Amino acid sequence: MALTKSQIFDPAFLDSLRHLRIVARRVPAGGRFAEQRSVDSGGGIDFKDFRPYSPGDDFRSIDWNIYQRLGKVFLRLYEELEDLPLYLMPDVSRSLFLEDPPRIISCLRTTLALASISLNHHDTVGVFSFSDEGTTAWRPQSGANKIMLLADRLASLKPGGVTNFGKAMRHLQRLNLRRGLVVIVSDFFDPQGAPAVVEALKTLRHRLLLVQLVKASDREPELAGDVRLVDCETGLAEDVSVTQRVRDRYVQSYDRFQASLTNFVRERGAGMLQIDVEQPITAQLVNLFQSGSYAVR
Q: Measure the CA angle with vertex 203, ends 124 and 215; round to 5°.
A: 75
CA–CA separation, 277 and 187 (whole Å): 10
CA–CA separation, 265 and 69 (whole Å): 10
CA–CA separation, 257 and 194 (whole Å): 6
**Among candidate residues 66, 52, 58, the one with its CA nearest the CA of residue 86:** 58
Which CATH number, 3.40.50.410, 3.40.50.11540, 3.30.70.100, 3.10.129.10, labels domain 7-291?
Answer: 3.40.50.410
CA–CA separation, 258 and 255 (whole Å): 5
**Among candidate residues 218, 143, 223, 205, the one with its CA nearest the CA of residue 169:** 205
DSSP-assigned letters across all residues of 231-271: -TTT--EEEEEE-HHHHHHHHHHHHHHHHHHHHHHHHHT-E
Residues 6+ positions from 42 with CB-CB distance below 8 Å: none
pTM: 0.81
Q: Residue 156 carries which side chain, given as an amino acid letter? A: S
What tens-digit pLDDT sequence spans the chain (297 residues)? 568 888 999 999 999 999 888 877 643 333 322 233 444 433 334 555 677 877 667 777 788 777 777 777 888 765 444 567 999 999 999 999 988 899 999 999 999 999 999 898 888 999 999 999 899 999 999 998 999 999 999 999 999 999 999 999 999 999 999 999 999 999 999 999 999 999 999 999 999 999 999 999 999 998 989 999 888 877 889 999 999 999 999 999 999 999 999 999 999 988 899 999 999 999 999 887 776 554 433
Parse the chain into domains and list their residue ranges.
7-291
Q: Decide: residue 166, CB within 10 A, 0-12 exposed, 13-18 middle, 19+ buried.
A: middle
Sort strands 207-214 and 271-276 into parallel, antiparallel or unpaired. parallel
Strand order in the sheet with 271-276: 134-141, 125-130, 86-90, 181-186, 207-214, 271-276
Q: Residue 40: what pLDDT?
A: 42
**Among candidate residues 79, 143, 86, the one with its CA nearest the CA of residue 110:** 86
Report the C-alpha dihedral over residues 182, 187, 193, 196, rounded to 10 degrees: -10
CA–CA separation, 91 and 104 (whole Å): 8
3-class SS string, 158-224: CCCCCCCHHHHHHHHHHCCCCCCEEEEEECCCCCCCHHHHHHHHHCCCCEEEEEEEECHHHHCCCCC
